[in-house]
Amino acid sequence: MARLVEVWDGGHQWAPAALFGWGLDWMLARRLDALFHEDIKDEISESYDWYFEYEHKKFQTADQAGERIQAGRALVALGRRMGDGLSGSRKDRLAATARALAEAEAAAPGAGEALDSLLAVLAEDSGGEGRNLETVAAAYDAVAARYPDTWAGALAARRAQSVRWERLVVR
């Protein structure tokens, strides 16, 4: 079972909006992936419509290169999954997003590289189901150290701390 544990400073209060959004994105992506099968595609099309609009807005409003690249990649992947279920206007927006994503990746190649590194560790982290937490934390630390001034580097540093806290709880 995939899991994501995040820790933040703040005591007994809601997570900061960016962190809460990251967790929600993580959860939604996994749930929709689990639901998406050709035989139920029609039944969940409204969920995909909502998620498309959500991802499109995230892409449009992202203020950091890595965040914009992540949102754009998610939107393009979602569009591919939706396939023929995309309306004409969504197809146009998806094509525009793909062009803008290519421009964003070309303008900030380090941000895309950092994001790829972060996502590779996140896949290892999720697949490990709570095992090898110190190794996973060290991998996040490596991403944070290699890409210190990027959105993905900052997220990797936070994930390293969260994984270390998780390790204390799991012991």
pTM beyond cutoff 0.75? no
- Dist CA 46 CA 91 (whole Å): 16
Lowest pLDDT segment from 21-30, 70-79, 156-165:
21-30
Cα angle value 42/45/51 (rounded, 5°): 160
Q: What is the per-residue pLDDT across 65-77, written as a single tens digit (0 to 9) for each?
A: 988 998 898 888 8
DSSP labels, 39-53: GGTTTTHHHHHHHHH
Locate the domains of the chain by residue range.
17-107, 111-170
Distance of CA 41 to the CA centre of its chain: 23
pLDDT given for residue 157 in this prediction: 93
Sign of CA dihedral 153, 155, 161, 162: negative
Q: Indicate if the pLDDT at residue 10 is higher than 60.
A: yes
pLDDT band at 1 (very low <50, low <70, confident <90, very high): very low
124 CB-contact burial (10 Å; exposed 0-12 / middle 13-18 / buried 19+) = middle
CB 111 within 8 A of CB 141: no
